[in-house]
Amino acid sequence: MATTAVIHQPDFLPYLGFFHRFLQADIYLVLDHVQFVNGTSKAWTHRDKIKTSKGVQWLSVSVNKVPRDTPINQVTLSTTVEWREANLHLLEANYRRAPYFGEIMPYVRQLYSEPAKGLAEFNIKSIRILMELLDVERPMIFSSSLNPQGAKNELLIDLLRKVGAGRYLSGVGARDYMDELLFAAAGIEVLWQDFRHPVYPQLHGTFEPYLSSVDVLFNCGIDRSRRLLRGEE
């Protein structure tokens, strides 16, 4: 059977759908060599959303200012802003009454105590911790290690060829720019993720989907979060 790959930037504390794709894939190609995007609604590499008593808020990693074309793996973490302590305070203030705060918070503190200097390194640590909690194990291959060529569709095809993947599992958000004919010509089958966000008990009012995975973990704990990810509830 052909190898199935997921390709995605190393986002910070991603939502459940990020890990859902891993369940149907064999390899996670970490897109760490592409441009760091900041200041737009599509910027997720250095932030994700959590639910607070004041509504949905961003939980952000503070990074040093870089030129526009800087790749993700060359972005460094700020050492002049106390963002780690601010993040921990924000999480503690809004999730301390969550049923599984005591179970999950040690993992969060572990992440923030890591001596990472780069954004990609820090984010990968966050992804690995969430993979452990959600019981998802997949090998990671970094795009920067593959000397990739091309841009957009051609770049993805080149990466898939270099790891010997015959199938590409994509999120539905890529439908607007994906040229499936190019993939077919390269002998690569494009698969589309079918993720239905689970509804679960949350603090602070009406349910909000598409938050960082820490939200479901704080509210539902490790065992139930694993079942929710797999659609078993």
Count of domains for the chain: 1
Tell whether the model's pLDDT for residue 212 goes beyond 90.
yes
pLDDT average, residue stretch 84-107: 97
Q: What is the pTM for the complete model shown?
A: 0.95
Predicted confidence (pLDDT) per residue in 191-203, tens digit: 999 999 999 999 9
3-state secondary structure of 91: helix
49: containing domain:
3-229
Terminus-to-terminus CA distance in the chain, angstroms? Answer: 29
CA geometry: angle 155, 191, 49, nearest 5 deg: 80
3-state secondary structure 139-173: CEEEHHHCCCCCCHHHHHHHHHHHCCEEEEEECHH
The beta strand positions in the chain, using DSSP E, are: 3-8, 27-30, 47-52, 55-60, 140-142, 165-170, 189-192
Measured over the CA atoms of residue 140, residue 175, residue 61 and residue 200, the dihedral's sign is negative
Tell me, what's the pLDDT at 80? 85
Tell me if 15 sits within 8 A of 213, measured CB to CB. Answer: yes
What are the CA-CA distances from residue 140 to residues 52, 90, 163, 212 (Å)?
A: 32, 30, 11, 21
**Whether the predicted pLDDT of 227 surpasses 90:** yes
Instruction: Write down the pLDDT at residue 7.
Output: 97
Q: Give the DSSP letter string of 9-25.
A: ---SS--HHHHHHHHT-
Per-residue pLDDT reduced to its tens digit, 106-139:
999 999 998 899 999 999 999 999 999 999 999 9
Question: Which of 38-52, 66-80, 191-205 shows the lowest per-residue confidence on average (mean pLDDT)?
Answer: 38-52
